[in-house]
Amino acid sequence: MDKLKMHSPDITQHNINKLLELFPNCKTEKQDDNGELCTGIDFDLLKQELSKNIVEGSKERYQLNWPGKKEALLTANAPIAKTLRPCRGESVDFDTTENLFIEGDNLDALKLLQETYLGKVKMIYIDPPYNTGSDFLYVDDFAESTDYFLKKSGQKDEIGNRLGTNTDANGRFHSDWLSMMYSRLRLAKNLLKDDGVVFISIDHNENHNLRKLCEEIFGEDNFLAELIWHLSSGPQAGHFTRSHESIIAFSKTKNELPFFKDKTGGSIKHGALKKISSANPASEITFPKGSIKCEESNIDFGDELGGSEKQYVISGNLSFINGELKGDVTLKAGWAMKNQVMQWLEGKETYDSKGQKVLRFYFNSQGILFYEKERGTTHPKTVIPSSEVGGTKAGGDDVKSLFGEKIMSFPKPVQLLKFLAGLVCHNSSDIALDFFAGSSTTAHAVMQLNAEDNGDRKFIMVQLPEACNQQSEAFKAGYSTIAEISKERIRRAGTKIKEENPKASDIDTGFRVLKIDSSNMSDVHCTPDSVARDDLFNQVEHIKTDRSSEDLLFQVMLDWGVDLSLPIRKETIEGKEVYFVNDDDLVACFDKGIDEALIKSLAANAPRRVVFRDDGFGTGNDNDSVKINAEQIFKQLAPATDIKAI
């Protein structure tokens, strides 16, 4: 029976395997850190495979580089032996909600989400530290090797959950900030859908570096815009008053990104001609009698019409009676959308290059071909005025309206996040992720947007339990960490939204709290080479004794790539505790003493996946025989079921 690996993916090894599939001749052997032979890549040969010229050595090239970049890449790719433990007591509507709140280091969270949410997130918004010289940054422990990283990451709080002040006296002031962002954005990109968008708030301190960093990670061609959040006021900084902040926007794959939808309705009218040129040569279209109308009821036009965009009558007359074309006419012009004109004349539904429906073609009062289309898309301006989405004060007021006092400094306003989410997230399955959640403005905005348009968007918030300053209003109000404020804001915002929108009482304002912790598996399971001989007898159980069945369930869901927001129910079958995730997506039983009666009962439902404890079969020395029988029973009753053990 196959076993689940129970740790996050080894992205480096995954990349190596993909390269070796493409270039098997680059496979070689090398020694690992322990002197053992292992598979490697001949990078000199790989460079030659990817070059049209002879590769002799390194050459200068255009790139962004800094001390620690390679270590940051290693940190992003290395697996971790951690998990997400459910916390029902701090959740809202745990069993039914599809929203998640993850408490812990966001680098760990992004790694743990790689299997389950790969290519599923529609929008990422983050408001990271601006690196002003007084911000707290994540201090990542760069690993010497992936094995070392996996070994250390199993030790709770040994290297995770650490923050440090990045002052401008630090010799690696910009480098440390770049390293922190680089590893996280590389992982975040994997989670985006092909038509997904990432928005990153930033100010002047790291704007230039962030833009180049994103161009490297997402691709220069996927840059969408630098949005300017124009504020009504700002601090006097040097010779100017800084009255704006920036929001850098990149797409995952720009060619897959549709234009933003317009919700205001109405239509747009526009000319259907282009100036005749070598790039747009003239061609002919014949309009049959009565096929098209004119704004003038009764009129005859000449043989040559228009200014720089000419339209010529080749045969027939461009004449109208009661607004209808009097007879067949052939026109020659540089058409802006000839294919659409032909489709429309054939009576087919017609759409322009932006996906907007063409309602009609017609001739205006000067006899020039025009078209009218639905206002299906919008092209927002890059300057976002605070008069429309609120400024820094509005963000503080949003929080104050919920808590009765100002307990957060400079949170982003809900209206700003509603504006961004409204551009991108339209489908009921769309997920918004914020892994620098702060006070969870993003979650608040998603719920508010759902209440206003009856949507069903989901959110995933990630926030470190960063300690509140003991002199702060938040600490005096009883909140010891930023994560506590964040969760309480979602609770209060959800309650308020339902009170103010009684017709939207069924919107999802709940969230599952999942906390990052060391693996549920003992050290002998995760890193057997690191366990001393004298400690082996203390680790007979491969699962830690303080972990619940629900803890194990969520680690299995992570490992198997099962959506963490799916409904879960628990039943007692044949005296054993059995979990059903989304009915039959995953069935799990982590009790011991599993017998054939239970196995037959579960197999009869033919679930997609089923998992047991590796030592859970039988009642004594018959563990192996019962396990073998279990596999045979499933092969007979549910051959399509994927059965594994932990």
For position 527, what pLDDT does the model report?
Answer: 52
For position 57, what pLDDT does the model report?
Answer: 65
In 319-410, which ranges are continuous DSSP H helix?
Answer: 338-345, 386-389, 392-403
Question: Which residue in this structure is represented by tokens 């990349």?
Answer: 15
| Cβ contacts of 316 within 8 Å, gap of 6 or more | 327, 328, 329, 330
| Kind and range of the H or E run holding 284 | strand 283-287
Half-sphere exposure at residue 321, Cβ-oriented, CA atoms within 13 angstroms: 5
- Quote the CATH superfamily of domain 76-261+379-516: Vaccinia Virus protein VP39 (3.40.50.150)
pLDDT per 10-residue tile (average), the chain, 646 residues: 76 85 81 72 81 67 84 88 96 96 96 95 96 68 49 45 59 82 96 97 94 94 96 81 94 90 83 93 96 95 93 96 96 95 95 88 96 88 95 92 89 96 90 97 97 94 93 91 96 96 89 96 61 50 91 95 95 96 95 93 95 86 84 94 93
Distance of alpha carbon 574 from the chain centroid: 41
Residues 189 and 252 sit within 8 Å (Cβ to Cβ): yes
Question: Which residue in this structure is represented by tokens 């006021």?
Answer: 233
For position 28, what pLDDT does the model report?
Answer: 82
How buried is 21 (Cβ within 10 angstroms: 0-12 exposed, 13-18 middle, 19+ buried)?
exposed
pTM of the entire predicted model: 0.80
For position 142, what pLDDT does the model report?
Answer: 44
For position 157, what pLDDT does the model report?
Answer: 41
| Kind and range of the H or E run holding 299 | strand 299-300
Q: Where are the domains of the chain?
A: 11-61, 76-261+379-516, 267-374, 532-645
| Cβ contacts of 37 within 8 Å, gap of 6 or more | 29, 30, 31
Strand order of the β-sheet with 576-581 is 568-573, 576-581, 586-589, 609-612, 642-645
State how far the Cα of 643 lies from the Cα of 635, in Å rounded to an integer: 10
Question: Which residue in this structure is represented by tokens 């400024």?
Answer: 391
Q: Of the candidates 450, 381, 394, which has an alpha carbon nearest to the alpha carbon of residue 421?
A: 450
The residue type found at 635 is K
